[in-house]
Amino acid sequence: MADPALRQATYEDIVALPANVVGQILFGVLHTHPRPAPRHARATTRLGNELGGPFDRGRGGPGGWIILDEPELHLDEHVLVPDLAGWRRERMPEMPIDKAYFNLAPDWACEVLSPSTASLDRGDKGKVYAAHGVQHLWFSDPEAQTLEVLALDGDSYRILDVVGGQALVRAVPFDAIELELGALWAR
């Protein structure tokens, strides 16, 4: 039998994980971490709420997006779970209902950084997002209270802005509204 440390991870490895563990496969390697801590979950939920009304539902904003918390993405051999992701409705008019994951890369992904996931989020996940044409990538850091806004520029990302604290910001691709960053960090 092959040494499990030397074999490529499979989706069956993810399925076998306990319910309180998130599994992802990047470049053949299984990465696991526990469900997000409360501060991380709060920042993710608040950001999803801020964007969901105006962009997903079209209330007080332009609409035209499907925004989801923790969708499972199957992009070639990679399995990723961004904290938030969004698809423009012209690319995905309706959500697929026949499977529990998405093969279509999102137009926007947001990773809420934590000490245990930041290097993976900024490293291999960013490389996979870029390789699959995810046009916009955000990094939200509840500890540092910062939001980094990146845009795909060729085969890598360019930082457009880094804002923090209590700032009010218009961040692409959701610059039709002003985000109150302080609401993301509130306890």
DSSP assignment string, 96-131: --SSSSB-SPPSEEEEE--TTTHHHIIIIIHHHHHH
Between the alpha carbon of residue 66 and those of residues 121, 132, 138, 149, the distances in Å are 22, 18, 16, 19
Contact 23, 30 (CB under 8 A): yes
**pLDDT band, very low/low/confident/very high, at 7 (cuts 50, 70, 90):** confident
**pLDDT band, very low/low/confident/very high, at 3 (cuts 50, 70, 90):** low
Other C-beta atoms within 10 Å of 159: how many? 12
User: Does 39 score more than 90 pLDDT?
Assistant: no
What is the number of structural domains in the chain? 1
Average pLDDT of the chain, as a whole number? 93
Between the alpha carbon of residue 107 and those of residues 18, 88, 90, 116, 137, the distances in Å are 30, 7, 11, 25, 9
What gap in Å lies between CA 179 and CA 146, rounded to an integer? 12
21 is a domain residue: no
Element (H, E) at 47: helix 38-51
pTM: 0.93
73 is a domain residue: no
Does residue 77 or residue 34 have the better pLDDT? 77
What gap in Å lies between CA 177 and CA 112, rounded to an integer? 20
Of 93-102, 156-165, 175-184, which gets the smallest average pLDDT? Answer: 93-102
For residue 97, the model assigns a pLDDT of 86
113 is a domain residue: yes
User: Does 135 score more than 50 pLDDT?
Assistant: yes
Residue partners of 111: CB distance under 8 A and separation at least 6: 82, 83, 117, 121, 122, 125, 137, 138, 139, 140
The mean per-residue pLDDT over the stretch 31-58 comes to: 90
Contact 185, 142 (CB under 8 A): yes
Residues 65, 71, 74, CA angle at the centre, nearest 5°?
Answer: 110
6 is a domain residue: no
Residue 155 sits in a domain whose CATH number is: 3.90.1570.10
128 is a domain residue: yes
Domain of residue 47, residue span: 37-67+83-185
The mean per-residue pLDDT over the stretch 109-126 comes to: 95
29 is a domain residue: no
25 is a domain residue: no
What gap in Å lies between CA 132 and CA 26, rounded to an integer? 13
User: Does 187 score more than 80 pLDDT?
Assistant: no
**pLDDT band, very low/low/confident/very high, at 5 (cuts 50, 70, 90):** low
123 is a domain residue: yes
Percentage above 90 pLDDT, the chain: 80
Percentage above 70 pLDDT, the chain: 97
User: Does 6 score more than 80 pLDDT?
Assistant: no
User: Does 72 score more than 90 pLDDT?
Assistant: yes
